[in-house]
Amino acid sequence: MSTNDQDIIQRFIFDKQPVRGEVIHLQHSFQTIVKQHAYPPAVCKLLGEALCIAALLSSTLKFEGRLMVQFRGEGKLKLLLAQCDHQFHIRGLAKWEGDASYDDLMRSFTEGILVIMLDTGIHKSRYQGIVNWQGYSLAESIEGYFKDSEQLMTKIWLQVNETSAFGLMLQAVPPTQQRQDLETCTVDQSMQALAGMTAKSRPEAMVDLEIQKLLHTLYPGEDIRIFSPKHVTFHCPCTQKSSEGAILVLGQKEAEEELKNHRVIVVTCDFCNKQYTFDAVDIAKLFHHPPVPPSDISLH
C-alpha cells in the first residue's frame, strides 16, 4: 500500500526557511463520513475541505481535546461541522437545502457564522474564534483568520475528489520559535517564494503523489525535514449517555407523550447514525436526575 492510500497527516519544516508545513491525505475516513448521509457532490467536496482544515488546525495547535470548524447559516448551507481531536479522530456532517451547487454553498457563507472552537474538556473550557468570510473559499478565510488573530502568514491548498480529500498548509514559524540564524525579515519573502512554488502545481496533480515525492517536486533544492506521519481515522465518540441531551432538549412532557405512542424513544447520532433506545424507566430516571446537557445529537 503506498502512502497516499492511507489516511495520514504529516508535518514538515524547511531547514533554511522560517516556514513549516502540514500535508493531509484522507481516503477511508473521508469515504466513511460522506457515506453517512445522502450528500450531493458539492456538499461532499465542502465537507472534505472542512475535515482537512480541522485536522490541519489540530496539528498546528498543541492541545488535548477537540477542535471544531463549524458553520451555521440561513442560506442553502444550514450547518457544516468538522471535528478533529488530538489523536486525529475525525468526524463531520453537513445540513443543506435543495439542490446546492458548490457556488451556492460558497455564497451561503455570507449568511451565517463560521467559527473555530477548541474544546479541551478541562473545566468545560472552550475557546471560540469567529472566522470572517474572505475571498471565496474556506481556505482563504482560514488564512485570513491566522493573519488577523495570530499575525501568522498562512497558505492553504485543498483538493477533494470523489474518493479522497487532500490539504497542504504552509505557515510562517511564530517569532518565538524562529531560529537565531534566520533573519525575521525574511519570513514574508520566504512564505511568498514557497507559496509561489506551490501555486505552480495544480492541486489536482498533488493528490496522487506520495507525500515525500510531492514535497521534493514542489520545492526542488530545498532542505526539508519530514516528520513521521500520523494516522487519521474516523471515530464517533457518541454514547447512550451523550445522547441523553437530545431527550432533555425535547422536555419531559413531550418525551412522555412520545413514550405513549411508541413505547420507546430512539435517538440517532447525527454523525454516525448509531441509534440509542430509551424506555419509560430510562426516561423517568433521566428527568429525575438530569445530567449536564451535552450534546452533539438531535432527535429523529
C-beta of 236: minimal distance to Zn ion in Å? 3
Nearest approach in angstroms of CB 57 to Zn ion is 22
Alpha-carbon gap, residue 26 to 51, rounded angstroms: 9
H or E segment to which residue 51 belongs? helix 41-60
The smaller minimum CB distance to Zn ion, of residues 182 and 249, is found at 249
Instruction: Tell me the closest approach of the beta carbon of residue 270 to Zn ion, in angstroms.
Output: 8
Segment near Zn ion (CB under 5 A), from 23-31, 74-82, 168-176, 233-241?
233-241
Which residue in 67, 238, 250, 283 binds Zn ion (CB under 5 A)?
A: 238
- Residue 237 CB, shortest distance to Zn ion, in Å, is 7
Q: Is the Cβ of residue 34 or residue 191 nearer to Zn ion in the bound state?
A: 34
Residue 100 burial by CB count (10 A; 0-12/13-18/19+): exposed, middle or buried?
Answer: buried
Determine the size of the site formed for Zn ion (CB under 5 A): 6
Hey, which residues between 260 and 299 contact Zn ion (CB under 5 A)?
269, 271-272, 274
Q: Which of 92, 229 has the CB closer to Zn ion?
A: 92
Which residues, listed in sequence order, are joined to residue 112 by a DSSP beta bridge? 73
The amino acid at 266:
V
Q: Which CB sits closer to Zn ion, 145 or 234?
A: 234
195: helix, coil or strand? helix
| Three cell numbers, residue 236 | 464517533
Out of 9, 218, 236, 265, name the contact with Zn ion by CB under 5 A.
236
Residue 238 Cβ vs Zn ion, minimum distance, rounded to whole Å: 3
Of 68-76, 101-109, 237-245, 277-285, which part binds Zn ion (CB under 5 A)? 237-245
**Residues 232, 90 contacting (CB under 8 angstroms):** yes
b vs e for 14-32, b when ≥16 Cβ sit within 10 Å of the residue's Cβ?
beebbbbbbbbbbbebbbb
Letters for 93-132 (x = contact with Zn ion by CB under 5 A, - = none) are: ----------------------------------------
Euclidean distance between CA atoms 23 and 194, whole angstroms: 14
Q: What are phi and psi of 252, to 5 degrees?
A: -65, -45
Q: Does 80 bind Zn ion (CB under 5 A)?
A: no
Task: Work out how close the CB of 298 gets to Zn ion at its nearest, in angstroms, rounded to a whole number.
Answer: 12
Q: What are phi and psi of 137, to 5 degrees?
A: -155, 160
* Helix intervals (H) in 64-157: 102-108, 138-150
Radius of gyration of the chain (CA): 21
CB 247 → Zn ion: shortest distance, Å? 16
| Residues lying near Zn ion in the complex (CB under 5 A) | 236, 238, 269, 271-272, 274
